[in-house]
Structure 1
């Protein structure tokens, strides 16, 4: 089944490539787009329904009066996806500079993708010089240069675990003393557990940021009235598999899914057979946003047309209000946003009614336990 999930996601992604094109966005997506530009598009073709996580360190610092404040550390939701953040949350920021090799405030963002053990973390820094400075700092922190790849450092053997070296507060070792390989890529330093994990990046033909589905949902966030003035603090990219628990991907393996309309039609036929649900989306994003009134969860989904996006907005709002644990915790607004080549984004904002982002907390904790069905494709009403 794992192979089947991977295959159907890859074909859905390849189908959406046919609509092509990207667009200019407002500034609130700039750091996120920059981070996603370092990830190969193949990161989306995975069995993982939540393959990419992002944290804007500067935005978190602004929103919570310091990126290492107690409020900021509590707000960081995606530490399990980003190896450096696991260490940060264990140590609450103490001794970070000494062990990481760079002050936390000098980091612009973190972004990561992949399923363990093949999981990459990108340390986004100010520029290439800053990336080189971090690499140099690692040479005095247990790292050695690889003879056949001078620009790559390692503190152990590929995929190795050394419990004697474990340090849960060290982002390069962690709770199991797992090896880290480090390599510069533009203004980032990439972190992996084996050198071959860097190959998709080095062989990248198109980035995640340039994927038309991702471009569509980002354009939605940048232009929708409910989100365009927000600061994007954290984000989690989801694939169609996130909403497909009631649909067996094996049902589509015999079909030609190389174009968007064919894929959409096949999914809709399965929905009609037994249930109602939001139209199939081709990529999605759950965003922790800071708005003028406080924190909010912003959801953006990429569609082939605005009729589908309008339907998704209406259905998602209704589902949220129907859920007893979600009703009343947010002020909800949503709209569709036209994008390039007739594509469209469905953008819904769930503005928290308190000082903490309860909508995001409920959505993320529910997603981790497979109980968040607001984005379910074809789920019963």
Structure 2
């Protein structure tokens, strides 16, 4: 299949094992074709990589590379098991409205993702690459292995954060750093009662757990949840930015 795509003009994208037919997320009206599965509605390029006997398709090379990598499912992943344990502690009996799973890339605004991605999914290699990048990131929290950010609702709106770390000492440092950065960076409408703790996870890992329930009332969009995601979407360093604390 990859060879067939190369015959159609797909070329090496720069990411290992990934081919593409143009520039990622670049609008190209002249290339729009509703019958072509390898172009988006705006004519943007698509990228492909082989995974066993199958081919994965994505809108950018990094996503295709990650999708094709041999990795355990989330249910088998110690990082996600740890984050889930932390989230359960963080939100308690609050209702989770929505949630997003994050990788360390979420906290690396301004860093090329290929500098830290490990196509093999090897955790030790990922840890090493993360450590190598921290000096370039400025101020922030200790580098996490992954995590979950949840939009939660109880008597007030809030956010539950759970980040996986190698041990509980680092996790507590991270939880305290997140709480401190929240007061500094999250904005007035997202301020409220903050708790910062840890929760033991799988395979010796530990979760930094932080919850914030905002003082503001009546906003149909959760300001605490927005304080994390909107900053990320704008490409700016936020509360969960990795760096030197």
Normalising by structure 1, what TM-score?
A: 0.43
Q: Is 1:159–2:33 an aligned residue pair?
A: no
Is 1:346 paired with 2:208?
A: yes
Q: 1:361 to 1:266 in 2, by over 3 A?
A: closer
Specify which of 66, 77, 81 is matched with residue 215 of structure 1. 81
From 102, 106, 117, give the equivalent of 1:242: 106
Distance 1:157 1:196, change over 3 A: farther
Alignment of 1:13-92 (within 5 A): none
1:259–1:372 Cα change, 3 Å: closer
CA deviation after TM superposition for structure 1 residue 266, in Å: 4.9
Tell me, yes or no, if the aligned pair for 2:149 and 2:160 is still in contact at 8 Å.
yes
Structure 2 residues without counterparts, runs of 5 or longer: 1-12, 18-23, 26-33, 43-54, 58-65
Q: TM-score if structure 2 supplies the norm length?
A: 0.64
CA spacing shift, 1:252–1:348, aligned 2, 3 Å? closer
1:93-108 alignment to 2 at 5 Å?
none
**Does the CA-based 8 Å contact 2:117-2:126 persist in structure 1?**
no
Tell me which stretches of 4 or more aligned residues in structure 1 moved more than 4 Å.
246-254
Cα–Cα, structure 1 residues 3 and 347, in superposed 2: closer, same or farther, change >3 Å? farther
Cα deviations by residue, 1:134-159 (Å, 9 ceiling, x for unpaired): xxxxxxxxxxxxxxxxxxxxxx8563
Match of 1:368 in 2: 233
**Structure 1 residue 298 displacement after superposition:** 1.0
1:294 and 2:170 are equivalent in the alignment:
no
In structure 1, distance between residues paired with 2:167 and 2:190:
30
Structure 1: tracts of 5 or more residues without a match? 8-114, 117-155, 163-175, 178-194
Q: Which of the residues 250, 256, 264 maps onto 2:127?
A: 264
State the 1:290 CA deviation. Answer: 1.4
Name the CA distance, whole Å, in 2 between partners of 1:269 and 1:205: 22
The whole-number CA distance in structure 1 between the counterparts of 2:137 and 2:101 is 28
Does structure 2 retain, via aligned residues, the 8 Å contact 1:320–1:326? no
- The aligned residue for residue 322 of structure 1 is 184
> How many residue pairs get matched?
197
Report the Cα offset of residue 213 of structure 1. 1.1
Q: What CA distance in whole angstroms lies between the structure 1 residues aligned with 2:115 and 2:233?
A: 25
- Separation in structure 2 between the aligned mates of residue 275 and residue 372 of structure 1, nearest angstrom: 10
Does the residue aligned with 2:207 lie in a helix, a strand or coil? strand
Q: Where does residue 231 of structure 1 map in the other structure?
A: 95
Indicate how the Cα distance of structure 1 residues 378 and 307 shifts in structure 2: closer, same or farther if over 3 A, else same: same
